[in-house]
């Protein structure tokens, strides 16, 4: 099967390379010529325009859009007039699932199929395979099954769940049809919310380990500094990088995330190249909004999302307000923290 890929970023390139490796054909277009330039050595054809991309495909055509969520609507708007009834648009980015519902209805009026594919696997997906969470009408999804099977990791990526018998389901290969339009991105939205929580828990645990020597640090004795009870119990110089290596092996919390963290710590245990300002691309916010709408408690997700806001200085004004209040009612003077 031949597809057109719009977007030559890390994920788009990875998807296309894996498809070609698995025997499919592809052509790519990106509005940034530099993005497509690095594909030339891989023998993947590059279209110079959306028109050229679409015209190079046989009907019914499949065009996979892999661009940032903010740009997806504009790309699909330009793409739609070039397509014909029976063609399929696949959105593999991190689109808000409600936008999928609207786009699916609009394209359906023109006889064009729309499939939303939540895609997880990051920069390693080209080799390891991508976990795919798919939304859309059944017939359109089934027609693209060879593509999804090629992109997914395959059943060998994990041991079969105890109790499962009979033929392997698609989900056991690493891809799942979650429901109608928007369902794929809804599941991916929740997936990324879970990811936020897992990352936050691991990072906070690492920070506690890194500060296990706080009892050896001289503390000022004044009314503005909380005393450390039991300083003798916090005298450990723990090598966090070594702990991560140990946790990779046999620990209940061992995971690919721990593997990646151990690799990041190797050679740079202090993580000195990072500023600690953590971005959020929207999925955590949307997942939290869904939890609110559903009346589902999501304490960990919300704390992890708000922690990202704080990392970027978005809480600084509130912290200043706290200092102002303390000085106003108690004459407390802000202390400068040097470590």
Cis peptide before 60 (omega within 30 of 0): yes
CA distance 116 to 101: 10
Spot the catalytic one: 188, 218, 232, 307: 188
CA distance 24 to 219: 64
Spot the catalytic one: 172, 195, 245, 307: 195
State the CB neighbour count (10 A cutoff) for residue 287. Answer: 25
Local structure of 185: helix, strand or coil? helix
| Structure-block tokens of residue 286 | 């949307």
Strands 175-179 and 131-135: parallel
* Structure-token match 């050229």, residue found: 52
CA distance 23 to 94: 26
Tell me the sheet residues that pair with 14: none
Instruction: Answer yes or no: 188 catalytic.
Output: yes
Query: Could you tell me if 118 and 94 are in contact, meaning their C-beta atoms sit under 8 angstroms apart?
Result: yes
What's the longest Cα–Cα distance across the chain?
77
Helices (H) and strands (E) in the chain, counts: 14, 7
Instruction: Answer yes or no: 59 catalytic.
Output: no
Local structure of 118: helix, strand or coil? strand
CA distance 314 to 217: 29
Residues annotated as catalytic (active site), given as ranges: 188, 195
């Amino acid at each position: 099967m031949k597809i057109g890929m719009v977007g030559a970023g890390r994920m788009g390139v990875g998807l296309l390379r894996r498809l070609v490796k698995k025997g499919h054909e592809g052509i790519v277009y990106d509005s940034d010529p530099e993005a497509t330039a690095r594909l030339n050595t891989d023998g993947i054809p590059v279209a110079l325009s959306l028109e050229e991309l679409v015209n190079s495909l046989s009907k019914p055509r499949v065009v996979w859009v892999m661009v940032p969520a903010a740009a997806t609507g504009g790309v699909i708007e330009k793409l739609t007039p070039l397509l014909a009834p029976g063609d399929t648009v696949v959105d593999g980015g991190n689109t808000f699932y409600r936008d999928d519902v609207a786009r699916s209805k609009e394209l359906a009026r023109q006889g064009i199929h729309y499939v939303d594919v939540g895609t997880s696997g990051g920069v390693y997906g080209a080799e390891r395979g991508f976990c795919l969470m798919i939304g859309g009408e059944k017939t359109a999804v089934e027609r693209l099954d060879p593509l999804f099977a090629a992109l997914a990791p395959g059943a060998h990526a994990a041991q079969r769940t105890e109790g499962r018998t009979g033929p392997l389901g698609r989900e056991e290969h690493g891809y799942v049809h979650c429901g109608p339009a928007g369902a794929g991105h809804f599941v991916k939205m929740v997936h990324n919310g879970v990811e936020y929580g897992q990352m936050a828990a691991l990072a906070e645990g690492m920070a506690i380990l890194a500060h296990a020597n706080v009892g050896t640090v001289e503390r000022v004795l004044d009314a503005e500094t909380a005393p450390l009870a039991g300083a003798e119990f916090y005298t450990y110089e723990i090598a966090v990088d070594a702990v991560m290596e140990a946790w990779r092996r046999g620990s209940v919390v061992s995971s690919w995330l721990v593997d990646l963290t151990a690799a990041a710590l190797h050679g740079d245990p202090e993580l000195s190249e990072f500023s600690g300002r953590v971005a959020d691309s929207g999925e955590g916010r949307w997942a939290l909004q869904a939890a609110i709408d559903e009346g589902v408690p999501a304490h960990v997700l919300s704390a992890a999302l708000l922690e990202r806001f704080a990392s970027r200085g978005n809480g600084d004004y509130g912290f200043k307000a706290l200092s102002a209040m303390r000085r106003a009612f108690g004459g407390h003077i802000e202390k400068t923290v040097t470590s």
